[in-house]
Chain A
Amino acid sequence: MARIVLTHSACHRYTDGKAELESDAASIRALVRDLETRFPGLGRQVEESMAVAIDGVMYQDDLTAPIPEGAEVYLLPRIGGG
């Protein structure tokens, strides 16, 4: 079980304002699927336009990253740069 935190209001419209969730997903791919099932649209949003921080390490465009048991996962907007 991982703790999923949504700090960004763009996520909240899918979760009815809920900012914290739990998920059994063991990878970002599984998380995307889990979120899409529970909150239609959110999984897609995460896959297409968000970064996922797992225990403080940022992942972008990487569905394969594992989510360890008890991990703290933040869903954030994608980061670019100059």
Chain B
Amino acid sequence: MAPDGTPALKVVGTRPIRPDGVDKVTGRAQFGADFQLPGQLVGKVLRSPHAHARIRSIDISKAEAVPGVKAVMTAADMPEITSEEAFVGEGPADFKDMSGNTMARDKALYDGHAVAAVAATSAAAADAALAAIVVDYEVLPHVIEVEDAMVEGAPILHDDMFTSGVDPKPTKPSNVAKRMVFQLGDVDAAFEKADIVIERKYKTAPVHQGYIEPHACVAQYAADGQVQIYCSSQGQFMVRAYVAKLLGIDISEIRVTPLEIGGGFGGKTLVYLEPLAVVLSRKSGRPVKMAMTREEVFRGSGPTSGGTVWVKIGAKRDGTIIAGDAVLKFQAGAYAGSPVGPGCMTAFAVYDLQDVRITGYDVVTNRPKVAAYRAPGAPISNFGIESAVDELARELGMDPVELRLKNAAKKGTKAAYGPTFGDIGCVETLEAVKNHPNYQASLGPNQGRGVASGFWFNIGGESSATVNINEDGTAVVATGNPDIGGSRASMAMMAAEVLGIEVERVRPIVADTSSVGYCFLTGGSRVTFATGMAVVEASKSVVNELKARAAKIWDIPVEAVEWQDGEAVPAGSNAGDFEPLSLEDIAAKSGRTGGPIASTSSLNAQGAGPGFGTHVVDVEVDRETGHVKVLRYLATQDAGRAIHPSYVEGQIQGGAVQGIGWALNEEYIYDDKGRLENPGFLDYRIPVASDLPMIDTVVVEVPNPRHPYGARGVGEVPIVPPMAAMANAIQDAIGIRLTELPMSPPKVRKAVDEQAAAEE
């Protein structure tokens, strides 16, 4: 028993080796590009070289004549989707836009927008065919930056886009897809009472998820209309649903087999190649394999929004924050749908704040359509708000952790987005920072320390799991969520915990769409919570069945059987009458006691526990070069209950480092024609090992009462605080407030020079 009276856990909280580990360290694991079918063709995509152009015509006749070319397609080969909206996969999806993004119909809206695709017997033939396609473009004026897109007279991307959420309804089309306002209390009155007001505008750059595995798939369309897709994605059921919708195919005709996924971070919650591969396979009668190059990944997929964040916060002299106002302008890329909504809702969520107003704008520009990226929207608004809170701490002469502790959301606090928080661990993450040696370490010249906290909702959703007991007493757990960061291990551990057996006796698999019940995609930090819940429920049903079988073997009522440590034990008046029956014993006799033992659970998990984290970073700024060196990094986070602590730490470390990249280096650079100038890892620089120190973590555990073991999602929160933490540390080091990301050497250098000039 644990001190609080709950049964001690034997498997949950330990660190077993992941069940798919050996495959992944020996090269045996099959990722998206590793799979092949006999007779497969090579599929490739022709992409627009223009940021904005009308497609007058596409002549594919010469391409079709290239030897070895078996199929050429354009948007004309896909059903035209009208303004229909539906809700499958990740949030509300506009399938008209999704179709247009998969393959441009009338206009190319960004450099890299797909306009045609080919399938050929060799890569060389496919390349020759791409070169032979003649697209007649009428190049149009383009717009890249969000605020440029909002001004009167800006080039308009969509003639049928009228800003929603403004009164009266506009009569002229606009690049502003939507305006939204979130409001609680009376903000203007609250500012009247403030002793100190901080007001500032911040700006972030769009960044790519940067998964190391480019998108890849193999599709086969058979003569009877059956479609097989093998691909890496964040959800085989998502791929099935989107391909069905985009191509007008019944879901029952499509089977999607998930391959291992080489990173996603939200960027693989969409389809890009799969519908094209299916069409090319249909036209050619052969399986078609498609894989993006790295350049295509940068030009044609992801990223997340860049945006501007105007912040105003008001506080009393004692440090109580009493009012928050913000205006967020997020660019969505070529189609509406930036994560500005969650950006607004998360903006002040770390704080106990009753008078809040956040206005958001969703704005289209001639860039790739944004995709989800870890805690979508939250890091952008957080950069502004947590930078401003740091400025407030400086103004007040207060320690930034103390200021946050004074204002932190806790159980019973009404969240700045409305609802009242239940059990949350925001304060605990701040205390963990305060008590960590990193927070006391001494700093030298040009060194500084920055703090920031962050929040993400986490989600649940629909999940299924099947648990099969094998005849030797081992178990197979099947779920439908791709394993991006060790979720097979978590699923096996939770099943083993319920069954009372060693985790090595549970084999977890990620099943295809025809072999397991529906699972919403791997995203939103939902798998350990929601799919884990389905695994626990299915395992509990199996235990009930095992007890029933033991009761039959012993001829006693099932109520008189208990399950302890993987064994059926007679209890009550029968206690001690029979030798316990192990899972192996019962499994061996299952055929003679009623047949195989298996159970499936399908559920829609609700009540995902909100996640909080606090990061503190020490940096050293080289005033000569503008280079910012990360000296120490500490990330604390409430995981509710860490099922496999190593992978929880890994999520936190990985998220923090993506945030460091976002803070210091990553950005899209466009030339004056709107062409992306840095579509490769050499010029789009993600953090490398030599840029970093160890990433220290403290996992605090405030159990989520809605999960059987208390788990909360952990993958999103750690990317939220790093950008502000870094900016705050740079300010601490050199006394300069940087308000624009990335804080790359040229920008830091320029700021240092300006400071020096101002002091002369």
Assembly CA distance A59 to B182 (angstroms) = 19
Q: Which of B87, B266, B418 contacts A82 (CB 8 A)?
A: B266
Q: Which of A65, A72, A77 contacts B342 (CB 8 A)?
A: A77
Assembly CA distance A80 to B87 (angstroms) = 12
Interface string of A60-78 (1 = CB under 8 A from B): 1110010000001010111
Q: Are A81 and B525 in contact (CB under 8 A)?
A: yes
A62-B604 CB under 8 A given contacts A48-B87, A81-B524: yes
A79–chain B nearest beta-carbon distance, Å: 5
Query: Number of contact residues on B: which range applies?
Result: 35 or more
Q: Are A79 and B342 in contact (CB under 8 A)?
A: yes
A75–chain B nearest beta-carbon distance, Å: 9
Q: Are A56 and B341 in contact (CB under 8 A)?
A: no
Q: Are A82 and B417 in contact (CB under 8 A)?
A: no
SS of B interface (majority): loop
Q: Which of A9, A58, A74, A77 contacts B608 (CB 8 A)?
A: A58
Q: Are B606 and A57 in contact (CB under 8 A)?
A: yes
Q: Are A80 and B373 in contact (CB under 8 A)?
A: no
> For residue B85, which residue of chain A has the nearest CB?
A48
Assembly CA distance A59 to B267 (angstroms) = 25
> For residue B419, which residue of chain A has the nearest CB?
A53
Residue of B457, B523, B525, B606 with highest tally of chain A CB at under 10 A: B606
Q: Are A79 and B459 in contact (CB under 8 A)?
A: yes
Say yes or no for B228: interface residue by CB 8 A criterion.
no
A80-B524 CB under 8 A given contacts A8-B180, A49-B87, A60-B459: yes
| Across-interface contacts of B456 in A (CB, < 8 A) | 81
Report the number of A-B residue pairs with Cβ-Cβ less than 8 Å. Answer: 116
Query: Number of contact residues on A: which range applies?
Result: 20 to 34
Q: Are B524 and A74 in contact (CB under 8 A)?
A: no
Q: Are A61 and B604 in contact (CB under 8 A)?
A: yes
Q: Are B716 and A82 in contact (CB under 8 A)?
A: yes
> For residue A48, which residue of chain B has the nearest CB?
B87
Q: Are B419 and A81 in contact (CB under 8 A)?
A: no
Q: Are A62 and B91 in contact (CB under 8 A)?
A: no
B215–chain A nearest beta-carbon distance, Å: 16
Name the interface residues of B599-656: CB closer than 8 Å to any CB of A.
604, 606-608
Assembly CA distance A17 to B669 (angstroms) = 42
A77-B419 CB under 8 A given contacts A58-B457, A82-B524, A82-B716: no
A3–chain B nearest beta-carbon distance, Å: 11
| Across-interface contacts of B372 in A (CB, < 8 A) | 80-82
Interface string of B457-496 (1 = CB under 8 A from A): 1111110000000000000000000000000000000000
Q: Which of A9, A55, A72 contacts B181 (CB 8 A)?
A: A9
Say yes or no for B706: interface residue by CB 8 A criterion.
yes
> For residue B86, which residue of chain A has the nearest CB?
A48
Say yes or no for A19: interface residue by CB 8 A criterion.
yes
Say yes or no for B272: interface residue by CB 8 A criterion.
no
Q: Which 3 A-B pairs have the closest CB atoms?
A: A81-B524, A82-B266, A53-B419
Besides A55-B420, A59-B606, A81-B713, 20 more A-B contacts (Cβ < 8 Å) are: A5-B418, A8-B181, A9-B181, A9-B182, A9-B183, A13-B167, A48-B92, A55-B419, A61-B604, A72-B420, A76-B418, A78-B92, A79-B524, A80-B269, A81-B376, A81-B458, A82-B264, A82-B372, A82-B375, A82-B716
B residues lining the A interface (CB < 8 Å): 85, 87, 90-92, 164-165, 167, 179-184, 209, 264-267, 269, 339, 341-342, 345, 372-376, 417-422, 456-462, 523-526, 604, 606-608, 706, 713, 715-716
